[in-house]
Structure 1
Amino acid sequence: MLSVKRGAQTLATAHFHALTSFTLMPPIVSTPSLLLHSHFLLFSTKPNPNSQPKAPFIPSPSTTYPELKQLLYRKSKVGFNKLDDALLVFDQMLGLKSRLSVVDFTQLLTALVRMEEYSVAISMFRELRVLSIPVNIVTFNTAIHSCCHLNPLDYAFSLLAGIIKSGWVPDLFTYNTLIKGLLSQDRPLEAGDLFKKLIKFQEIQPSVVTYNTIIDGLCKTSNTSMALKLLRKMEEIGCNPDAVTYTSIIDSLCKEGRVDHALDLVSEMTHKGISPDVITYNRLLQGLCSSSRWEDIGPLLSEMGVRKISPDLHTYNILVDAHCKEGRTTDAEDVIAIMIQKGVPPDVVTYNTLMDGFCLRGNTDRALEVLNTMRSNGIVPNCYSYTILIDGLCKNRKLDEARNIFDKFASRGLQPDVITHNTMIRGLCQEGLVEEAKVLLSKMEVTGCLPDSVTYNTIIRASLLNKRYEEAVVLIENMRARKFPEDASSTSMVLDLLSKEEQDPSVLAFCKWFFQ
């Protein structure tokens, strides 16, 4: 067994530099000492303003050791409620390290990953290495997984080198995680190159999971043609694709408007004995709806029935959304009635979509009725629910009603986001209430909701429309100071001013300043 391991290690070492050309980050040296849990708060990815440093409490091994192991096992599944708790446990573990195994420390790292405290997990892994606490391939993989959620990926690849130097052999999970990390950072070519080298040097035996990881990443970065080539490569080497493989490509084809090609793939997978699931049909249904292929939607739903695949909440929401975008709110309501009849209760997305449909038709009264129905059915409207209503009311010149809804956000336990503010500001500017819009802009800063490019450009255009050029200059200067650009509409308006009112000195002065 030992000779096999050494042989694999030698192979991995020989090919490591050929496998990857990434720059490796040198390891960070840390002081080998009994660390207080507050030491790691510097690395937390989440703010923890109320946490206070605590002295380590080292429990008696005879009374806490079994409880600690049970706690670690449980928390590795769900994570800790607070970061402080996880770090205090680490302090306790350091006092008991002679009795704890590598599995126990790996479970603590896994708990941090569950909490999405990736930076803390990496920092803790480094401390384990400095303190000579044993680690294994699973510990390394957990640390690499954390690295792949952060930028850059250099340290993840230095850990790959660390695995080999420690005498372990990188496994399929190691490489799957690295490939997925590259894809998540929109580096599909590098991910594909790494995968090809792994196969070439026989570092891994490609599995359907590995192929699915790469294909999904390629599809999410709009490299559908590459994904299709990889699908054919799978078949060539005898690695059978599954429903997940096909669904990723079908979804990508539909998003590109290549619905016929997606339909062909569904036929292909069924012909090969691979059954589409509800997710596959939902992706295809979304593509058909987006392409207004209504004549194909009925047969597709019938096919689902024949295959005994029940539509889920997402299926129905796709149909409600498609009907509403076409202005067919009655048909959307019929879909909701069928949902309820089939035991699939509508959610906040369903009702928001229907409200938006009524607002698009100018029927804000019916949209308000939908809001009340939502409440009566025990579904709490969210920020987007009220934003839809504010937008609909403003577009239908019902500013007072929109303002009333906006002013009641706090009483409903909600905080309007930047989209809500922009919607309200647009409504105010539409009515020529530029001063009130500017007041709302100021309030955004106070409440911690930072304005964006849309916020500024909306008020700037209203200022120009009302010939308030000096105010527009101040707004543009503030916007530029925040590194926000003027959008095409604002620039176009300035050009129109220059051509239509070139004799007005104030306009000429403003335009000269704008383009300087």
Structure 2
Amino acid sequence: MVRMLPQPSVFQFTKLLTVLVKMKQYAVALSLFDKMRQLGAPVDEFAMSIAINCYCLLNRVDFGFAILGTFFKRGCEPDVTTFTTLIKGLFLVGEIAEAEKLFKKLLSEKLCEPDEIMYLIVLNGLSKAGHILAARDLLGHFENLSCKPDVRAYNAVIDGLCKHNMSDDALHLLSRMIEKGILPNVVTYSSIIQGLCNVGRWKDVKDLLKEMLDYKVSPNVRTYSILVNAFCKEGMVEEAENVLEIMVQRNVCPDIITYSALIDGYCLRGQMGKAKRVLECAYNAVIDGLCKHNMSDDALHLLSRMIEKGILPNVVTYSSIIQGLCNVGRWKDVKDLLKEMLDYKVSPNVRTYSILVNAFCKEGMVEEAENVLEIMVQRNVCPDIITYSALIDGYCLRGQMGKAKRVLYSLADRGLTPNIVSYNSLINGYCKQGMLDKVWHLFLEVSCKGLQHNTVSYNTMIHGLFCKGRFADGWKLFNDMQARSVMPDSQTYNILLDGLCRTQQIAQALSFLCMMEDTGVKPNIIAYAIVIDGLCKGGKLEIARDLFNQLPSKGLQPDTQTYTSLLVHFVEKDLRGCKSLASEMEKSVVHLIM
């Protein structure tokens, strides 16, 4: 790109730098920035600010200040963002005094007007460095400005106060923020609860937990872990166990910190048997987390370590790893693990078998899924609704609607009640076959059964109607979805955008794209690809190119489909943009980094 003639504009350079920073490729961004300067390419204030940010993120704030010197040499004025970046960089490398000095200089010499972000950075930096009184005074000053502190600013100071055993000051600040109409969040309360627990003020902890619930603020895993840890350190293990029970009741999963605190509590009491059982749970929690993040090899390594330490895995351990391996199609490893389970006398349970049935069905291996079901029956493990829903989905994916329907309507005879997942699979199957009369009958049947349609149900139906050209019916269903308070997701909006573009309602599609952001659903690359393709097909190539150019600033990387759509239409119109677009595609960010 840097060797292109004529040279790309400063906008194109900064766009590429922005994408690299979003991908955390700071060194690559700086290398490109240096090449730009060496070749005499245009570099503006924005590009220099990006370079300063990269140096600060690499803990080389000194080089960041060197770039600042370039600002002044060129007669440019750094803005609040540039100075905020440098202050943050100084805090990151522990130069607290220098950060304070720079901030005070900005105020005294009026070099720039600090905004909410700068104040937040300084408050965070001072609090974490232990300069809590300075942070508290600064917050008081901040409250009197036109730009007011938000909950994050108060949280930074409250956390610092609590860490310095100044819980009364933290409680006073909590009251002050509420008086100013700033509602505390779970971070606020967790910090103060930690501070109160540290000094054994249990009544105040109890009052604060009640206040949380009054303000509809739900404790999270950190809040509960603080309580478990505090109770265990005081030898109040029964109270810690009660907290764990409440977590389970409220569907808050304990993490490794929670389990570690409980293990310490049991060990302090000499209850080694209980400590060992909790340790098993802790291993299972970590293994499950690894598998859910596609880190199956790490999970297998941890399983080996667990066995080496004399902690035998149970059915929960194996089921989690089998799920992770199935997700990436490692069937041989699944087979080996099932054999290992039996060697250790660990019997698969209904969850283990359901994982296998679901994985086989998703891969189109329905016969293997049926074999698993037979083994379950032979071993007196009763399939549950999850098992049968997976099988129904497998039949639907194969187009075997008769078999899928028979399984659905046989559930009552097996003592099971179909759920919305079971019906959604059948609805999807009929939609794919274009059998809209049957699918509509099934859609209405769900309501008669007392079940509530979810987002997946509506997405499937709307897409099915659009595929048959019944756009008006699809939009009616979307209105019904909203009337019933079923929240649309990004897939819903992508289906609707596709419908608008297919009916040449391009202006409405662009408006809809803006409306998505207003409703809190950020459009993804698929949404933009749909609209760009619609614009191209409607002959609006310049608007399509403009929208395409905005993608990096939105943190989105154009995919092959988006490039191809533009290229095809530029070729058809014989526009000059075709050559530059092809070159851009060839030298896209992904290829640059590779």
TM-score class normalised by the smaller sequence: 0.5 to 0.7
The 2-side partners of 1:275 and 1:49 are apart by 59
**Aligned counterpart, 1:282:** 354
Q: Verify: 1:427 aligned to 2:561, yes or no.
A: no
Alignment deviations for residues 447-484 of structure 1 (CA, whole Å, 9 cap, x no partner) = 45443332222111111122211221342344444232
**Aligned counterpart, 1:296:** 368
- Classify 1:374/1:43 alpha carbon distance in 2 versus 1 (closer, same or farther; 3 Å): farther
Conserved 8 A contact 1:171-1:204: no
3-state SS, counterpart of residue 416 of structure 2: coil
**Aligned counterpart, 1:340:** 412
The 2-side partners of 1:263 and 1:509 are apart by 51
3-state SS, counterpart of residue 411 of structure 2: helix
Q: Higher relative contact order by CA 8 Å / sep ≥ 6: 1 or 2?
A: 1
3-state SS, counterpart of residue 466 of structure 2: helix
The offset of 1:375, in angstroms, is 0.5
The offset of 1:120, in angstroms, is 7.1
Alignment deviations for residues 107-153 of structure 1 (CA, whole Å, 9 cap, x no partner) = 6788879924467789999xx9xxxx9974779x99xx9xxxxxxxx
The offset of 1:494, in angstroms, is 2.5
**Aligned counterpart, 1:325:** 397
- Classify 1:43/1:339 alpha carbon distance in 2 versus 1 (closer, same or farther; 3 Å): farther
Q: Verify: 1:358 aligned to 2:430, yes or no.
A: yes
**Aligned counterpart, 1:400:** 472
The offset of 1:171, in angstroms, is 5.5
Match of 1:492 among 546, 564, 573: 564
**Aligned counterpart, 1:115:** 218
3-state SS, counterpart of residue 484 of structure 1: coil
The 1-side partners of 2:183 and 2:313 are apart by 52
Alignment deviations for residues 329-351 of structure 1 (CA, whole Å, 9 cap, x no partner) = 22111111122221211111221
Match of 1:367 among 439, 448, 451: 439
3-state SS, counterpart of residue 338 of structure 2: helix
**Aligned counterpart, 1:11:** none
**Aligned counterpart, 1:378:** 450
- Classify 1:475/1:231 alpha carbon distance in 2 versus 1 (closer, same or farther; 3 Å): closer
- Quick one: which amino acid aligns to residue 272 of structure 1? Y
**Aligned counterpart, 1:34:** 168
- Quick one: which amino acid aligns to residue 383 of structure 1? T
**Aligned counterpart, 2:290:** 218
Matches within 5 A, 1:231-310: 231-310=303-382
Conserved 8 A contact 2:177-2:183: no
The 2-side partners of 1:479 and 1:427 are apart by 22
The 1-side partners of 2:278 and 2:170 are apart by 43
Conserved 8 A contact 2:428-2:460: yes
Unaligned 5+ runs, structure 1: 1-22, 54-81, 146-155, 161-169, 177-202
The 2-side partners of 1:324 and 1:291 are apart by 12
Unaligned 5+ runs, structure 2: 1-92, 95-127, 131-158, 245-254, 267-274, 589-594
The offset of 1:52, in angstroms, is 6.9
The 1-side partners of 2:378 and 2:180 are apart by 56
- Classify 1:299/1:409 alpha carbon distance in 2 versus 1 (closer, same or farther; 3 Å): closer
Conserved 8 A contact 1:498-1:508: no
The 2-side partners of 1:119 and 1:38 are apart by 23
**Aligned counterpart, 1:13:** none
The 2-side partners of 1:229 and 1:506 are apart by 52
- Classify 1:39/1:358 alpha carbon distance in 2 versus 1 (closer, same or farther; 3 Å): farther
- Classify 1:286/1:409 alpha carbon distance in 2 versus 1 (closer, same or farther; 3 Å): closer
The 1-side partners of 2:203 and 2:315 are apart by 36
* Length-normalised TM-score, structure 2: 0.56
**Aligned counterpart, 1:410:** 482
The 2-side partners of 1:339 and 1:41 are apart by 56
Matches within 5 A, 1:118-133: none
The offset of 1:378, in angstroms, is 0.8
Conserved 8 A contact 1:102-1:136: no
Match of 1:483 among 555, 558, 572: 555
The 1-side partners of 2:584 and 2:330 are apart by 47
The 1-side partners of 2:538 and 2:482 are apart by 32
3-state SS, counterpart of residue 298 of structure 1: helix
The 2-side partners of 1:456 and 1:323 are apart by 34
The 2-side partners of 1:246 and 1:333 are apart by 32
- Classify 1:445/1:288 alpha carbon distance in 2 versus 1 (closer, same or farther; 3 Å): closer
Conserved 8 A contact 1:358-1:366: yes
Matches within 5 A, 1:88-103: none
